[in-house]
Amino acid sequence: MDKRLLTIQDVSCVGQCSLTVALPVISACGIETAILPSSVLSNHTGGFSGWTFHDLTDDMPGILDRWLTEKISFDAFYTGYVSKAQIPHILDIMEKTARPGALRIVDPVMADNGKLYAGFGDDFPQEMKKLCKGADVIMPNLTEAAFLLGQPYVAEGYDKDFIEKMSRDLYALGAKNVIVTGVSFDPKKLGVAVYDGSTVEYYFAEKQAVSAHGTGDLYASVVAGAMLRGKSLLEAASLGADVVVEAIKKTAGDKDHWYGVKFEKALPYLIKRLGD
């Protein structure tokens, strides 16, 4: 039977992030991709003057009931931007529709650059811990890691001891593997720390001159798809970093394309790498 992944996150109709990234990227990995939108936005919230927002929490129980009736099940779950009220529904969905050995991949989307995203209260990180507990992989950035652990955000000047303690502390939340993103010990390099409960391994790529919206969603989607293709955690984590760099390079120089990265142009690179 072919593998089927369910991704649960918002739909930002314009902006090359969330589900508009996850669906094509994971599909390009050769994995059947089912979706459960947590909300629908006209566009993402970064850099635009405004947006519409429609919450879909109330739809989740009915969707689950229909899936149970149809005996629909999944080999993996990958969560992104969700609300506090949705976390109990998501845990219920994971429990009731999982095939044997199903993976739970959690991108705890809630914060960046030292601040929680708009709409998240100070109590949200405590709720996100419930989704992280028991997950096969969690992928926080440095800000999200700090919020999950209830410690101050440190943007720079940290060392390997700091990152490795952070990785161990995140693992202690109940996740089976941890990928900390946005790690850098060299101004020319940016990468990830991967912890499996015993060893922290690193992967660094060339740091790009610009940052871009949606790269975290692109990264997590590649990791999820690559893992379902049988790649090891470090292989998937490394491939995610390389695909993000490729997408940023494909977007560089186009000043009108400020709202995301042209990940579509990096899909041939992703597919080729998966075949290596």
pLDDT tens, position by position, 104-152? 999 999 999 999 998 899 999 999 999 999 999 999 999 999 999 999 9
- Which residues are CB-contacts of 233 (< 8 A; sequence separation ≥ 6)? 137, 177, 179, 194, 196, 227
pLDDT in tens, 258-270: 999 999 999 999 9
- pLDDT, tens digit, 9 for 90 and up, residues 2-55: 999 999 999 999 999 999 999 999 999 999 999 999 999 999 988 899 999 999
Supply the pLDDT for residue 238: 98
| 264 DSSP assignment | G
- Exposed/middle/buried for residue 4 (C-beta within 10 Å: 0-12, 13-18, 19+): middle
Cβ atoms of 7 and 26 closer than 8 Å: yes
Count of beta carbons in the 10 Å neighbourhood of residue 167: 23
> In whole numbers, what is the pLDDT of the chain averaged over residues?
96
- Whether the pTM exceeds 0.95: the reply is yes
Percent of the chain having pLDDT more than 90?
A: 94
Residue with tokens 């940016």: 190
The CA-based diameter of the chain, rounded to the nearest angstrom, is: 53
For residues 181-191, average pLDDT:
96
Distance CA 141, CA 210 (A): 17
